[in-house]
Structure 1
Amino acid sequence: MTIDAADLGAPPERVRRAALFLDLDGVLAELAPTPEAVGPDPRRRAVLARLTHRLEGRLAVISGRAIVDIDRILEGDVALVSGVHGLERRTPGGRLVRAEPAPGVAEAAAAFDRFVADNPGAFVERKGLATGLHVRLAPHLAGAARDLAAELAAAHDLTHQPGHLIEELKTPGADKGRALAAFMAEPPFAGATPVMVGDDLTDEYGFVAADAHGGFGVHVGSPRPTAAAYRLPGPAAVLAWLDRLEGL
């Protein structure tokens, strides 16, 4: 069930045996004009280190970014991560689980390249398992980008994942909710209370999965319809809440 996030309050600061699942962009880091513009941050690093210790390792980052890029931004400090919307995951045992890329991803990226050549301000992000068409620098292109992505998804049997001024086409078979469920099936997460913190439409899968496992979601950002139970206004508020959180 979705409700208007305008009606949601801040999440509790005590959660019994919490297991935290955190998106990166728009949650742990402010949204930037380009993906490369997001980098390491000392305060973020300190908060995550303290919280990982406090929760006995029950913390994972679940992002649309590739794991290699997550590690760059977090300086490799978060061991348990899922990238490309669940298509790759580093398990508690340190094993990297990665899907095989759909052939259509490369063809979709080529079509996005042609769109970018004709539309200054748009740019393409390649992740191997997915490709994204960004229009953050040219928001007037949002409608055309969405139409193109929908057309390519149907033509190449890809999953179309709209986001914040990005249209992403990815290999089918995974999402952030499935990534959360996979972590919850393993120690140290098994039996804990999952809390998914995210800002974008891609995080709704995680909110639903957290609820199904007895936990809840926290929507970050401006109000919109959401399956989350709580809301925080932005990354600064997220870091402040994480620093106060106690998971018993």
Structure 2
Amino acid sequence: MHGQISLEAPPALEALRGESDVALFLDFDGTLVEIAEGPEKISVPADLGKRLVDLGDRMDGRVALVSGRAIPNLENHLGQLPMARAGSHGIARLLPDGSTLGTEPEALPAAAIALLDDFIRDSGFMLETKPHGAALHYRAAPELEETGLEFAEKLAAEHDLHVKRGKSVIELVRPGADKGGAVRAFMEVPPFAGARPVFVGDDITDEDGFKAAEELGGFGILVGDRSPTSAKYRLPEIADVYDWLGL
């Protein structure tokens, strides 16, 4: 694991492409848009979707969005995306033509959703339901973290779920939902197969993507400050991500 103080800026993308084919895997919140108090309060550049599609064209189709958000939610903010994308922490995967890569993931059990609904009443948490998971947001009330984590871990144990941590968010997902799995799945199919994977992300949940990229001959790029990390390089701000990608 690397400490952020030792991390340098990554080589220029065009320099990397001069060495070998490169496949880009991009997180969304905290990497391409600033994190907000709630998932629907983010500010997204109006043409970001088009810019990402143009980036994909420049990269010969080897660009994938890999987000904790559900794919329909991503497309609410970015428009229809004729590019690879993985949502719900990588467990839901679509190819550029809209076909599913792998098996369709299951939703959370109805009983678990009912318990979540009961828990958040007057709790101060904001519940975000997704097709394949659910998230408890507490950015507006950070003192709720311990209570939320205790509840989520108990619920996960009862319903064979996994708990994922993020920046002021606690998520419940099905086993196998991690961003590294999405990287490995895409890297097995064209046009990603044989390329050098580079994962760009900011949060703890992106560590799985960093590790998978490294295992497959590439590396991770951490956005911001966080330690320890498996990323090899670092970009301080979201604006630096845009500059590095040429967006």
- TM score, norm. by length of structure 1: 0.90
> Quick one: which of 163, 167, 178 aligns to 2:181?
178
**Match of residue 5 from structure 2:** 6
Deviation for aligned residue 1:39: 5.1
User: What amino acid sits opposite 1:58 in the alignment?
Assistant: R
Matches of 2:185 and 2:128 in 1, distance apart?
Answer: 26
**Root-mean-square deviation (CA), in Å?**
1.7
Q: 1:164 and 1:107, CA in 2 relative to 1: closer, same or farther beyond 3 A?
A: farther
Matches of 1:91 and 1:170 in 2, distance apart?
Answer: 22
Is the CA contact 1:139–1:165 (under 8 Å) kept in the aligned structure 2?
yes
Is the CA contact 2:82–2:98 (under 8 Å) kept in the aligned structure 1?
no
Deviations 1:86-108 (A, max 9, x none): 221102453125212242xx333
Is the CA contact 2:196–2:217 (under 8 Å) kept in the aligned structure 1?
yes
Matches of 1:134 and 1:163 in 2, distance apart?
Answer: 9
**Match of residue 41 from structure 1:** 45
Deviations 1:102-139 (A, max 9, x none): 42xx333333333322323x110000211111101111
Q: Extract unaligned runs of 5+ from structure 1.
A: none
Is 1:234 aligned with 2:237? yes
1:1-248 superposed matches below 5 A: 2-13=1-12, 14-16=15-17, 17-38=21-42, 40-42=44-46, 44-45=48-49, 47-97=51-101, 98-103=104-109, 106-120=110-124, 122-243=125-246
3-state SS of 1:101 partner: coil
Matches of 2:50 and 2:86 in 1, distance apart?
Answer: 21
Following TM superposition, the consecutive aligned residue runs of length 4 or more in structure 1 with deviations greater than 4 angstroms are: none
3-state SS of 1:173 partner: coil
Is the CA contact 1:81–1:91 (under 8 Å) kept in the aligned structure 2?
yes
Deviation for aligned residue 1:199: 0.9
Matches of 1:149 and 1:58 in 2, distance apart?
Answer: 36
Q: Extract unaligned runs of 5+ from structure 2.
A: none
Structure of higher RCO (CA pairs closer than 8 Å, 6+ residues apart): 1
